[in-house]
Amino acid sequence: MKRLFTSAVAVLMLSACTHDPINPGPDHSHSCHPDTVYFVNEVLPLFTANCASSGCHGDTNPADGLSLTTYDGIMDEVKAGNPNNSEVYEVLFETGNDQMPPPPAAPLDSLSKWKIYTWIAQGAQNNSCSDCDTASGSFSQTILPIIQSQCQSCHSSGNASGGVVLSDHAHVVAAVNNSGLVAAIHRMNNSPMPPAASLSDCELAQFDKWIADGMPNN
């Protein structure tokens, strides 16, 4: 079921611009604006990590004929500027057997839903940015958001694929030390993670920086 967001998000809708959904390619800007949600950097990874597994909405025999691995495929279920009338957003609030992603995967967290909502409200552009902050090495600001958006659908406390839980700092450190997490995200073993698509070069660099700093809980 659709849910209303806070008044702050409503303001975003009022200020959002619309655009022609037919977009020949990403609009590569040179810097990331903190008030903009970028499709290539933030939205597409959410869909590939949570919706593109085997038997769901990947490239091979996608469920209902719907592949959610490309901008064009996702835009088939999006009304630019109108998230509450976009099917791809509406299904995020279904429950039971209609939940997306389906059980036993964990539902998307509120931050991930907010990113999809805001991206659509801002015009659902095929945009990207090139900033990559590898200086801070922050778990809470950098590593945890990557884990939440790309890994927790399969590695939450209620759905621990392979027995690996990535719900908090202690579990992530344990996975690095004992479960081959580094090899998995660098796609160097037989269990690459996320399975559908690699983390970006920036995300991998941020992970490596945090590990090199001693994996602080900062």
Q: Which residue did the predictor score with more confidence, 104 or 23?
A: 104
Q: Is the peptide bond before 26 cis (omega within 30 degrees of 0)?
A: no
Query: Is 68 part of a structural domain of the chain?
Result: yes
Range of the domain at 180: 139-212
- pTM of the predicted model over 0.75: no
List, as one string, the DSSP characters of 84-149: GG-HHHHGGG--GGG-SSPTTSPPPPHHHHHHHHHHHHTT---EE------SS--IIIIIHHHHHH
Q: In this structure, are residues 53 and 195 in contact, taking their beta carbons and an 8 Å threshold?
A: yes
pLDDT for position 122? 97
pLDDT over 50 (residue 214): yes
Number of domains the chain contains: 2
pLDDT for position 202? 85
Query: Is 21 part of a structural domain of the chain?
Result: no
Query: Is 13 part of a structural domain of the chain?
Result: no
Q: In this structure, are residues 172 and 216 in contact, taking their beta carbons and an 8 Å threshold?
A: no
**Mean pLDDT value of segment 75-102:** 87
* Secondary structure in 3-state letters for 141-196: HHHHHHHHHHCCCCEECCEEHHHCCCCCHHHHHHHHHHCCHHHHHCCCCCCCCCCC
- The tokens describing 56, both together, are 């769901």
Mean pLDDT (the chain, rounded):
80
pLDDT for position 9? 35
Per-residue confidence band for 2, with pLDDT thresholds at 50, 70 and 90? very low
Q: Which residue did the predictor score with more confidence, 115 or 153?
A: 115
Q: In this structure, are residues 31 and 129 in contact, taking their beta carbons and an 8 Å threshold?
A: yes
Q: d(Cα 199, Cα 101) in Å, to the nearest integer? A: 19
pLDDT for position 4? 34
Q: d(Cα 38, Cα 32) in Å, to the nearest integer? A: 8
Q: Give the residue among 125, 129, 119 at the shortest CA–CA distance from 28.
A: 129
Q: Which residue did the predictor score with more confidence, 3 or 136?
A: 136
pLDDT for position 80? 96
117 and 44, same structural domain? yes
Q: d(Cα 211, Cα 134) in Å, to the nearest integer? A: 12
pLDDT for position 43? 92
Q: Which of 52-56, 63-67, 109-113, 117-121 has the largest mean confidence?
A: 117-121
161 and 86, same structural domain? no
95 and 147, same structural domain? no
pLDDT for position 16? 36
Query: Is 113 part of a structural domain of the chain?
Result: yes
62 and 122, same structural domain? yes
Which residue, 104, 128, 152, sits at the end of a domain?
Answer: 128
Q: Which of 8-17, 92-101, 206-215 bottoms out in mean pLDDT, i.e. has the lowest?
A: 8-17
Q: Please name the helix (run of DSSP H) or strand (run of DSSP E) that holds residue 211, with its range, or none.
A: helix 201-212
Query: Is 20 part of a structural domain of the chain?
Result: no
166 and 95, same structural domain? no
Query: Is 73 part of a structural domain of the chain?
Result: yes
pLDDT over 60 (residue 1): no
Q: Which residue did the predictor score with more confidence, 24 or 126?
A: 126
150 and 192, same structural domain? yes
Q: In this structure, are residues 98 and 91 in contact, taking their beta carbons and an 8 Å threshold?
A: yes
163 and 83, same structural domain? no
97 and 159, same structural domain? no
Which residue, 128, 147, 162, sits at the end of a domain?
Answer: 128
Query: Is 30 part of a structural domain of the chain?
Result: no
Where on the phi/psi map is residue 79: left (φ > 0), alpha (ψ -120 to 50), or beta?
beta
Where on the phi/psi map is residue 64: left (φ > 0), alpha (ψ -120 to 50), or beta?
left
pLDDT tens figures, 106-146: 788 888 899 999 999 999 999 998 878 888 789 998 998 88
Query: Is 7 part of a structural domain of the chain?
Result: no
